[in-house]
Amino acid sequence: MVRFPASCNVFMDEFGRIAHFFAPLASGFSGSLNLRDDAALLAPSAGHELVITKDALSEGVHFLGSESAGLIASKALRTNLSDLAAKGAKPLVYFLALMLPPGTGDAWLEAFCAGLENDQKIFGISLAGGDTISTHGKLSISITAIGEVPLGSMLKRSGAQAGDAIYVSGTLGDSALGLRSLQNGLGMAALEERYLLPQPRTALGLHLRTLAHACMDVSDGLVQDLGHICAASGVGALVHTPNIPLSPEAATQPGALTAALSGGDDYELLFTSPASAHAALEALSAEVGVRISRIGEVVSGSGVRVLDASGDEVKLTSTGYVHR
Ligand SMILES: [Mg+2]
């Protein structure tokens, strides 16, 4: 599955294009065998284990389709990097499957690969293999990303304990508001960028291995994703809306709180930590340059309850984007 095979009828010269577009992306990882074999070779560092995740994106569902090829590539890779960050994993390599509609030309592919190359440098990850096929449907991209953690140290959803504080990185709701801006031509560039170009919290995630009991990235909305942590851990959660971090751009927008509670595509880290970790988290926030906000607490029981400044429960009409 590592070669980009001749079954693909998008390209006139399949192997030439593998060499031109994709092999350079794999040159930093010797186990890729320069994409000239049927499979790649990968071993974790001594005392480590591999963390493996996959995210697929489809035009019109996960991205608009009007974005540049480079931005589409970045979003595809970064959603996977966000999952590795949420597990406390150091990125290693990724596998790429591209489903290209008819008429996809070399210029598009070149820009797509340039986007990947740029992010590979930023996040320290390399292409290890993949496949490219033509499709009669829309553009789809599937990436499998592999990272590593010291044995037994992967952050899980299931570790939250009653009494933990609940934290989130960055700000919430920007991406959902950015998508609304893009769809309605509102021109809110800062918010739109949050939708178009996620910021995986890789450095933060690495440090959270020793500070967090449970962690995941917020991709489907805060309340829904926190519900996943609660279900996996057998606990409940209280969230206090005055503590939810909003960017200055988002705070002025109608529906900002709803977007922060239930909007998708934030790709911030949501985690729970014991009270004893609070000072270390403040220091870590300064060290990695990422805001960390305490938004609530883990309680015994089940489910997520959202409380306003008066302590009254906020009723949500939607708890996030539900995948069909
Ligand atoms: Mg995730």
CA of 194 relative to ligand 1 center, distance in Å? 17
> Do residues 228 and 271 lie in contact, with contact meaning Cβ atoms separated by under 8 Å?
no
Q: What is the 3-state secondary structure (H, E, C) of the chain?
A: CCCCCCCCCCCCCHHHHHHHHHHHHHCCCHHHHHHCCCCCCCCCCCCEEEEEEEEEEEECCCECCCCCHHHHHHHHHHHHHHHHHHCCCEEEEEEEEEEECCCCCHHHHHHHHHHHHHHHHHHCCEEEEEEEEECCCCCEEEEEEEEEEECCCCCCHHHCCCCCEEEEECCCCHHHHHHHHHHHCCCCHHHHHHHHCCCCCHHHHHHHCCCCCEEEEECCCHHHHHHHHHHHHCCEEEEEHHHCCCCHHHHCCCCHHHHHHHCCCCCEEEEEECHHHHHHHHHHHHHHCCCEEEEEEEECCCEEEEECCCCCECCCCCCCCCCC
- For residue 70, the CA-to-ligand 1 centroid distance in Å is 22
- Residue 3: pLDDT band with limits 50, 70, 90: very low
pLDDT, mean of residues 25-30: 96
Q: Name the CA radius of gyration of the chain, rounded.
A: 20
Q: What residues pack around ion ligand 1 (CB closer than 5 A)?
A: 83, 217, 219
Q: Please give, one letter per residue, the 3-state secondary structure of 186-250.
A: CCCHHHHHHHHCCCCCHHHHHHHCCCCCEEEEECCCHHHHHHHHHHHHCCEEEEEHHHCCCCHHH
CA of 110 to the centre of ligand 1 (A): 28
Distance 199 CA to ligand 1 centre (A): 13
Q: How far is the CA of 17 from the centre of ligand 1 (A)?
A: 32
- 220 CA → ligand 1 middle, Å: 8
Least confident piece of the model among 4-8, 261-265, 315-319: 4-8
- Kindly give the distance from the C-alpha atom of residue 219 to the centroid of ligand 1, in angstroms, as a whole number: 6
Distance 274 CA to ligand 1 centre (A): 22
CA of 79 to the centre of ligand 1 (A): 8
Cα 10 to middle of ligand 1, angstroms: 32
Is the pLDDT confidence value at 301 over 60? Answer: yes
Say how many Å lie between the CA of residue 65 and the centre of ligand 1: 22
When pLDDT is cut at 50, 70 and 90, the band that residue 16 belongs to is confident
pLDDT of residue 315: 83
* pLDDT above 70: percentage of residues in the chain: 94
Least confidently predicted of 63-72, 75-84, 268-277:
63-72
**Quick check: 249 pLDDT over 60?**
yes
314 CA from centroid of ligand 1 (Å): 25
Q: Ligand 1 centroid vs 81 CA: distance in angstroms?
A: 9
pLDDT at residue 248 tops 60: yes
299 CA → ligand 1 middle, Å: 23
**Mean of per-residue pLDDT scores for the chain:** 92
